[in-house]
Structure 1
Amino acid sequence: MDAKFLKFFILISSIFFSSFAFTPQDNYLINCGSSTSTVVVDKRDFLGDSSNNASDYLSKGKSISLANPNPVSVSSVLYTTARLFTSASSYTFKIKNTGTHLVRLHFSPFVSNNYDLKNGDFTVMANGFSILSRFVANFTVVKEFFMMVEKVELEIMFTPSSDSNFAYVNAIEVFSVPQDFFVDAGGVALISPDGIQEFRQNISTLILETVHRINVGGSKLTPFNDSLWRTWIPDEDFLVLKSAAKVARTFDPPNYQPGGATRENAPDNVYMTAQQMNVANGSLNFLFNITWDFPVSREGDDTMHFVRLHFCDIVSVALNTLYFNIYINGIIAYKDVDLSALAFHELASPYYIDFVVKNTKDSGFERISIGPSDLSNTLRKNAILNGVEIMKVLDSVPLKRRPKKNSVWILVGSVLCGFFALSLAILTSLAILKCCKRKSKPKTKRPDSGGWTFLRVYGSSSRDTGSDGNALASPGPYGYYDLKIPFTDIKLATKDFDKNLIVGSGGFGMVYKGVLKDNILVAVKRGMPGSRQGLPEFHTEITVLSKIRHHHLVSLVGYCEEQSEMILVYEYMEKGTLRNHLYGSDLPPLSWNQRLEICIGAARGLHYLHTGSAQGIIHRDIKSTNILLDETYVAKVADFGLSKSGPCLNETHVSTGVKGSFGYLDPEYYRRQQLTDKSDVYSFGVVLFEVLCARPAIDPLLTRDQVNLAEWAMEWQKKGMIEQIVDPQLVGSIKPNSLKKFGETAEKCLADYGVDRPTMGDVLWNLEHAYQLQTNERPRERDDTGAPGVVTGVNLSRIGVDSVEGISDISTSRVFSQLITNEGR
């Protein structure tokens, strides 16, 4: 392609997409040392800090304005002046939108008034945190930082390193970035010389300094082409072997999807170019990677870098044909990447993956490689990369409360608004109730079914609605007239989202321990404020959990969707996740009896999920972190954000994009994109081996044959030597017959094809049998349908089932027989 045409195309497309530009709520642009306003090439207006409009930003420290005597020699009009400080001085900016902000400092040395700015030696602090120490600039440098600002002011202080020295700056940019720019996901990988570890630090609280921003396969992009006014440089100089890579590009704009990358994460032009493997047509030589070396500074053994890799599949002609591996510093950081699955089953859909890299001072590079996966078709092996960002981790910003005076007024205003909204809801509800009483005939109240009920807000059963089908609102067990909980109540329950109350985190957001009215303990899951990335999962969770209740499913107390917030409130599970009780924590090990009881409880909840309605519900994300334990170790299945309704009576499956967690994903569902309840059964089989072996589903630090738990455990099970891989804490405590039954059950769950796997009812029966073999309780029988039969002698309370629900669950001739009767529904 002609280079001039390509540049023209980039210019035109940048102008076309400028209508989508991000507008920050906080936006301070300062031309330091100038008394006039200056418009730069990207059309932004920088205020002179000596002008009346910007003079309030600068404190009364000792400073002077300098003018460049040779202004035509500089690359930007911003570098024709500078502000020089002979003592500690600062700029202070009022912050309207607390959250992550970008701070960009411009330094371009020149000689003026006997000051040679190359001799400047100084420190820069941002709200008390050092972002530059003993800084010296011998040429034009732009320093860029991302930092969390939780105060109503941001102070940037320049301090000379000694009394005889000075500090200076040519221009300052401070503006807010989208609140979902950094997502605090607990699964971000930490790549270190010792391997891959889970990174638990909150990304948004880190101060990050930009080191490299690379447009892979493309040309240089200036701030004019970027909605956050960033500069992206080509990758050519960083390629280790240029002949290994081949440029790919498209002229079609990226196919942005909700929940994926946005134009603020990277501009369109980054996602419209890439490097791919340079393989000649017909060649079968795929045994190479594309590798880039990015130089980075080293300041000690604990130096860490945040690495964001950008992807957009612009090379495939069909879905699920591109699989590749990502390597960082020689360690496989992500195996078998499938952009079709990650990017919401759409081609050319932008997506990014974050890593945190811990290096040693011996290496001066971050080495990033991509290469083909074994999952790829032999003739279609390829790997791509569209963009790279590398940022140095400087520090962590503690989240501080706003000044008490502001908090009081915010609280008062919120309480008044909440009171008004609640009053309005009560009056509306009473009016509807009165109207419904007029229209509907008296109904005979049916007894609750022991295992499940419908909540009133989204109720679809006849006993929960008026004759017109509308829900009858009435106060629930938590004092609210429906599932909606006012934001003010949630803030009070979590002490304004106090960091000390955080009990977990995930892709959706932080989880806080809270106390609602009447001292009710709850878990509050708060989506990233202002982000709509998790909106489909948010609504799915509400829809599913508002319609079902079961002793072994985590109950939804309510939700909040006010002020751009997405908050889910659940019953509090005191003992946390099953995973934490198996490995990776200091908690005491669970006994075999406890583990069986937990597996039985989770199986009971899943069985209800699959059979409790005409179509049933498929969870799609069964794993040990989604099985929670209450204060008595009763297991409850949680996190229904990916759930789907099962197939209709005349269907065998649900066709849908692949969702789930790596290591637990049903391979048949992955291959065919056909979802059934047997996909949950497969995932549950992985959990069973996880319980038995007390190790993760995927552990990249182990040898190749042990990385995947399901594959490794199945090999031992098929050899009849499952006792060789049992958790050492359990050795000698499991009766052989119980272990044999448990291993057989897990093996059946992991059958390659769904048709060969048992139902969750069968799994439940076999787990209870294993429990009885372990405890010498009387074995139960099955009726002629194969469903669990009458149970005698089982200690239901140990498995976490109360007497009423126990009867409805397992003491009838057919499991959940009440679900097929009108009275049971």
Structure 2
Amino acid sequence: MLSIALVSFLLLHFTVALTPDSFLLSCGAPSGTTDESDGRQWYTDTDHPNLLPSNFLNISSTATVSDTSVTRVPYMNARIFQSPFTYTLLVSPGTKFLRLHFYPSSYLDITKSESFFSVTANHFILLSNFSAFDATTSSSKVLRKEFVINVDGTQILSVTFSPVPNSYAFVNGIEIVSVPTDLYFHGDVKLVGHTKPFNINNSTALETLYRLNVGGNLVGSTEDTGMYRVWDSDDAFVVGYGYQTPHFNDANITYNSENPAYSAPTIVYTTSRTMANYSPGLDWEFPLNSGFYYLFRLHFCEIQPEVKEINDRSFSISIGNQTAEREADVIQWSGGWRIPVYKDYVVNVRNQDGEQNVTLGLSPNPDSAYQNAILNGLEIFKLGDAIGSQTASIPESSSEAPIASLAYPNNKKKRISWHIIVAIITAVTSGIAFFSILGFLISRRRNGGKDHGTSVPKSSSLPADLCRHFLIAEIKNATDNFDEKFVIGYGGFGNVYKGYLDNGTITVAVKRSNPSSKQGIREFQTEIEMLSSKLRYRHLVSLIGYCDDKNEMILVYDYMANGTFRDHLYNTENTPLPWKKRLDICIGAAKGLYYLHSGTKHTIIHRDVKSTNILLDDKWIAKVSDFGLSKVGSVGGTDTTHVSTAVKGSFGYVDAEYYKRQLLTVKSDVYSFGVVLFEALCGRPAINPNLPSGQVNLAEWACRSCKKRELEEIIDPNLKGQIAPECLRKFAELAYHCLRKEGVQRPSMGDVVKTLEFALQVQEGADNRGHEVEGSSFPLISNGDAMNEDEIFSDLSEVERKLTSNGMSMSVSRSAKVNNVALFSEIVNPLGR
């Protein structure tokens, strides 16, 4: 139930959220202190009236090194986060500028190498593996990151800061300003080099990279049109020579409905850059990250007296060496002299390693009367994908923060709580109209909308010969038109429904994408291609088919009657699994991952191993699921073979080495599986922000307990008396080594399978002869991190030696197919279990 304090807060501040927003938080400043900036008042992050009550367990600090060029507010104080933390703000619905202010300085003697973090805003992923220290330049001591996002009818903006393992996050100021709805999100935009347009709607997030007053000087935030934008000079980006910068400061600029006064301040349109008589054209260069789409907004206004008629000045526009316009005529576009106009273009900066310079070029057309080109202003934004991911897809922080899973019941509880909030607000304020609109929005979200705002791949390009291709009518019939009563889980991709095919003879799990999905077309195609043609194995979930009919993205799987592994470990009403069952499930999941790494022609790295992606069928057989983020490596790749890629995964499961270096190897999966092993042993989530700071991250807490020989203190109380000491030692050592900081120090998945099989044999042997309950009388981790990797497999090697002397072998070739791979239970115990 809602707390009285929260209900009171919502009632008191509900009317505030109905007006356009413009407010600022000075993070970490002492309570009660405020300051004025740009004519606006800064509040401390504990006092702002729009900030929902939070339990600030994080550190606030004052910069120990200051600079006279840096303003006191908001930069001399910072809020430091050593675990995930969320600011929850009550705002009006609509488009917002979200600006994050950073002053990379010394805080509590913490070094810059320890500050890497991600930032999310609602379902938009804004920053990942971000370091404010690395992002600042010599010319600026502070950093402002600006994003354009949409807030839906819930009127809640949750901004989450999540430090990477062994690191911290910080922020000095948070700024939120309302933006006219159609200023940046207005539908189809010309995609350079393509005939079809690119749709920019409010399911997209924009990151402002460059905002330039072309040919003029810096335009400060107070000179903007009420949205406090900063327009820099373009001098640093101009390539070559031969240009002029005509200024007509007294020009009477006439705005209109197509280009309202808030589009850009007048000073932007009264300054410009044009060509000198001997110049072949105008060119600018901008460093941009590869692999993203970018929005280029070009601002024009003919302000020179000699250019007043159509065809007086006509020129071509190219972006990234591709033609965007062949005959740009500002007078024709705007409708007259000194009437401003802007044009939007989207360009795809194709995948390459790192940054590349993208050129914007203007060249005069020889047929125009005044052979020249002009540009007044320029904005460049990086576009997020269908969920607004600006960089890596590290999800919002929560106890688990899934990207996608076939069954995630906890999300259902979260939804119900928000329905209660909305119901209470509506009832007390008698906002009948608001309630109707919000109910409509919620209904659209639940139903996935009629149009996902993105193009779904045609069925002809997908492997219909290897799995079934369903029509949407068949899926609706199987799920009773996606009835809520059939929902069995929620995930980043969308709802998961239980369905019945072929007159009820086949039970399936139907995963349907929705407009706010954290995964899109790429993951949809990857999942189909992986499971339909490459991956068929006992310990991998089976894909039955897919549906891409009428802009839907739907995947149909075998139904897993017992849900996810996580469902039976914690935060559940299910009976806790006994130890041997947990161990058996870990073995099955490890075999599935080993098959991915070594049982196929190409090494496959799962990239999202977690307990919610381990499913259990009606016979409790473990099956690895969700291959939307998987990456294919080389043929017969080694453990050190890597794939350079943006970081994706789930917070709490991604190892710091992959996070920082963005080099993905099979050992990244091993690390994630080590977290799963400790989940099984400790019966708690990978991340739990409600625990004391030293216990929030399961991997860190468990490893620290191992080194201190305090393992018995973290074991799930439900397992008391079930684990033989020698089995516990072997299992814990394995999990500990899976979590080693360097991938080369972690065991292979083949070794993981062997060790788990051996641990099970030890447990069964102890059960047969009787054993004492687990305790601290046995050594667990010797010499801490300096422990020799071979220690973990010492007992196992002896077993293997004995088996080999009896004519049996446990060796496994990495290139072996699954039917030739030794499945270790049958070897160690020929009679089976």
TM-score, normalised to structure 1's length?
0.47
Q: Which has the higher contact order (CA 8 A, sep 6+)?
A: 2
TM-score, normalised to structure 2's length?
0.47
